[in-house]
Structure 1
């Protein structure tokens, strides 16, 4: 076998080996759970006959696409805080509305009106926002403390 053919074969093995590693990396990346970033909450108490609001926003990146994002606000001093929040607890949580940001990332927002009666019956103090993000491939991410706010 000539030296030229041997070099071509060796180069082909390197290229195919690199493609195989790339395919493995892409397959592995496809199985990653959704990632949350830039999560923030804003609570405005009702005032003088006007309703308040709770707004939460986060960015979710999922290589297979985002199927759903559920949001739950919960007081730190509660049974949820004591036992730890689970995905099962999030089944009845309310959905966020998501809009594409580009690539595999969406910006999700959850807003709820807070009436004077809601505020009066809510525990005072620190609250947490829990988020359950589900990708189209079925992988999930649960962040039980994605953001926080204070009810005074």
Structure 2
């Protein structure tokens, strides 16, 4: 093989690999947000002191985390038969997100639980649904990101 043929072959291979790498990077940029480390802690009201529901999650999106919405729902609710949709989550409350890495945000949702709230709430297993939206508009919905018990 001539030196010129080898040089052209190497150049073509580098261009092909570079193109594949660029495609992989472009594809990676289009991935929906990822949710990890989702946890909920429920504390019942006690005497004259309110309780609370605290939910945390790590949201990662290469285009940045635009917002995270959270909805707690009882396991025996209608959502158990008809799974939640992004449309259902449109009116869910937002979590507060703080940057915790290059493309990651630590998001926290906290709501006070009064004695009256606790008395009206169904007992038993509850789920927390999470909708994360990235800067590029892509979304991830996890209708059962975590769970907790109301006793």
- Report the TM-score when normalising by structure 2: 0.96
Mapped pair 1:15 → 2:7: no
Mapped pair 1:144 → 2:143: yes
**Structure 2 CA distance for aligned equivalents of residues 81 and 115 of structure 1:** 25
**Structure 2 CA distance for aligned equivalents of residues 116 and 90 of structure 1:** 26
Map 1:24-103; keep pairs closer than 5 Å: 24-103=23-102
Q: Cα distance, 1:18 vs. partner?
A: 0.9
Q: Output one character per residue of 1:71-123: Cα deviation in whole Å (capped at 9) or x when no partner.
A: 00000111122222111110110001111111211111101111111111101
**Structure 1 CA distance for aligned equivalents of residues 18 and 88 of structure 2:** 43
**Structure 1 CA distance for aligned equivalents of residues 56 and 68 of structure 2:** 11
1:121 corresponds in structure 2 to 120
**Structure 2 CA distance for aligned equivalents of residues 122 and 82 of structure 1:** 19
Count of matched residue positions in the alignment of Structure 1 and Structure 2: 151
Report SS of the residue matched to 1:53: strand
C-alpha RMSD over aligned residues: 1.1
**Structure 2 CA distance for aligned equivalents of residues 82 and 7 of structure 1:** 63
- Report the TM-score when normalising by structure 1: 0.95
**Structure 1 CA distance for aligned equivalents of residues 143 and 113 of structure 2:** 21
5+ residue gaps, structure 2: none
**Structure 2 CA distance for aligned equivalents of residues 29 and 6 of structure 1:** 34
| Dislocated runs of 4+, deviation >4 Å | none
1:132 corresponds in structure 2 to 131
Larger deviation, residues 91-100 vs 8-17: 8-17
5+ residue gaps, structure 1: none
